[in-house]
Amino acid sequence: MASEKAELEGTTPRPGVSDASDSDGIEGLHSSTVNETALLRKLDARLLPAVSVLYLLSFLDRSNVGNARLEGLTTDLDMTGNQYLTGLTLYFIGYVLFEVPCNIVLKRTTPRFWLPTLTLVWGIVATLMGVTQNLSGFFAVRFFLGVAESGLFPGVVFYLSMWYKRKERQYRISLFFSAASLAGAFGGILAYGISKMGGVGGYKGWRWIFILEGLLTIVVSASAYFFITNYPSTTKWLSDDERKFIHSRLKADSDATEDETFRWAEVWLAVKDVKVWLYGLAFHTLSLPLYTLSLFLPTIIKGMGYTAANSQLLTIPPYALATILTIAWAVLSERSGRRAPWIIASSIIAIIGYIILITNDSPTKRPGVSYTGVFFAAAGIYPSVALSLSWPANNVSGQTKRATANAMQISIGNLGAVLGTQLYRPNTAPRYLLGHSFALGYLCLNIVVVGTLWIVLNKENKTKNLHLEQNPNTAGFLNDDVEKHRGDRHPRWMFNV
């Protein structure tokens, strides 16, 4: 049996395939004239740039507030104390509240409609930030920006899971997420240039940052209605042979080809699954350092003694390194077939960065030391986040359950960001011991959570392998009308660890 052979080889059986049913799917694949490698390249070229551009704009529009702060945002809106931090917190409250509802809407509509519509709405909201005249307006815009952006990331993760096999998803999701660090690099360049427009039209430079970047999002969203596609069965740029080939390879691998109707019972299955909560905690322990770094990096660097303009530019190299390592970590993780050890290793790199930042007692006298710590922090945080966010897309079966699990992970995770936005207070500058210490502690907790999830998944895989050894005639995954509804509870569905 396949399970016995896999045990001898130290691997798990191919998920979603039974010995008896595998022949039909494999025969269909072999009889096709479609080149699988060429088809994957075609999918990557058509799907990944489209969704990555949307996420780049999303991260740019949420984090450019840090760049605008250096150009006088808080002064012009008469902010005092921690009012700026409150505005950042409101963004994530809106984000968390609407995460799951947005993914349910995606399941009940289509990606071509929903993803561009979200982009259009947040583009309009982001532009309004540039004409905000008071603190109340700032609070309102930040909250509704969070609401509008909440559905993009979990929606795209679910969307990609309907195109790619399980083993192919993690690398693609990591490539997609690398747009976040790329947005940080672009944000620094754009903010440096746009801030020079101060005085044009009677607007300060920080206002133009929001207006121009928001208008860019609106323009892209209008074209996104044409370049975002739906699912393989209705895509016009695939030939009939390619469409059948995709259907065959996905049917042999996961639930992506099932015409699953929305059921609240599937949502409840995700809520009851302890693994879904662990996926959420894995991101929760990373979201605090992720968002505090992306929102406060310009401020942290300025606290080292650099001018506002130079601080904008100095944010670029750490983000560039983070982008490169996010992709490299994704490749290495995919080749090894492991997630947990690579997340732990990357988190350790980030921990080293925060230890450097905390132990430097004079950032203004030794800015190079703190700047080195920033490099380590960025280099460790972004790869860990990318791998963590791709985990439920690989492991959760049942389309509605997976869509819910993806949204729950982001919602639980972003509660960490809600806390993080209150930590980098002006009175803690320039060392920011409070914020750095929380980030360090959260990264240590991340290692604990990921290690626990590693143990839980291994234990469940061993239980399933034992069941298959004792019941070799267990029906194949998705090849039986009753069995397919068991999703990732099916004995032949092995979890990626």
Please write the tens of the pLDDT for every residue from 368-415. 999 999 999 999 999 999 999 999 988 998 888 988 898 899 889 999
Q: How many CB atoms lie within 10 A of CB 462?
A: 12
pLDDT at 350 over 50: yes
**What confidence score (pLDDT) does residue 481 get?**
47
Tokens of 496: 């990626």
**What confidence score (pLDDT) does residue 485 get?**
52
Distance of CA 174 to the CA centre of its chain: 8
Residue type, 401: K
Q: Cα separation of 372 and 250, whole Å?
A: 45
- Region at 432 (left for phi over 0; alpha for psi -120 to 50; beta for the rest): left
Distance of CA 424 to the CA centre of its chain: 23
pLDDT at 141 over 50: yes
> Whole-model pTM?
0.86
- Say which residues have a Cβ less than 8 Å from residue 56's Cβ, sequence separation at least 6: 179, 180, 182, 183, 186
pLDDT at 82 over 50: yes
pLDDT at 291 over 50: yes
pLDDT at 443 over 90: yes
For 479, the 3-state DSSP assignment is coil
Q: Cα separation of 476 and 474, whole Å?
A: 6
Q: Place 470 in a pLDDT band, splitting at 50, 70 and 90.
A: confident
pLDDT at 307 over 70: yes
**What confidence score (pLDDT) does residue 254 get?**
74
**What confidence score (pLDDT) does residue 103 get?**
83
For 359, the 3-state DSSP assignment is helix
Q: Which of 21-25, 66-70, 165-169 has the lowest mean pLDDT?
A: 21-25
**Candidate ranges 15-29, 201-215, 251-265, 403-417; pick with highest mean pLDDT:** 201-215
pLDDT at 253 over 90: no
Q: Cα separation of 454 and 339, whole Å?
A: 9
Q: Place 474 in a pLDDT band, splitting at 50, 70 and 90.
A: low
Residue type, 277: W
Q: Cα separation of 492 and 18, whole Å?
A: 7
Domain boundaries of the chain, sorted by first residue:
43-229, 265-496
**What confidence score (pLDDT) does residue 21 get?**
38
CA-based nearest residue to 87, from 131, 151, 145: 145
Q: What is the CATH number of domain 43-229?
A: 1.20.1250.20
Per residue in 74-99, is it b (16+ CB within 10 Å) or e — as a string? beebebeebebbbbbbbbbbbbbebb
> If you count DSSP H runs as helices and E runs as strands, how many of each does the chain have, helices first?
19, 0
pLDDT at 63 over 70: yes
43-229 shares its CATH topology with 265-496: yes
Task: Please report the DSSP string for 402-454 in residue order.
Answer: HHHHHHHHHHHHHHHHHHHTTTS-GGGTTTTHHHHHHHHHHHHHHHHHHHHHH
pLDDT tens, 323-339? 999 999 999 999 998 99
**What confidence score (pLDDT) does residue 31 get?**
47
Q: What is the CATH number of domain 265-496?
A: 1.20.1250.20
pLDDT tens, 151-201? 999 899 889 988 999 889 889 999 999 999 999 998 999 999 999 999 999
Strands (E) in 137-189, as ranges, are: none
**What confidence score (pLDDT) does residue 475 get?**
59
Tokens of 185: 């690099």
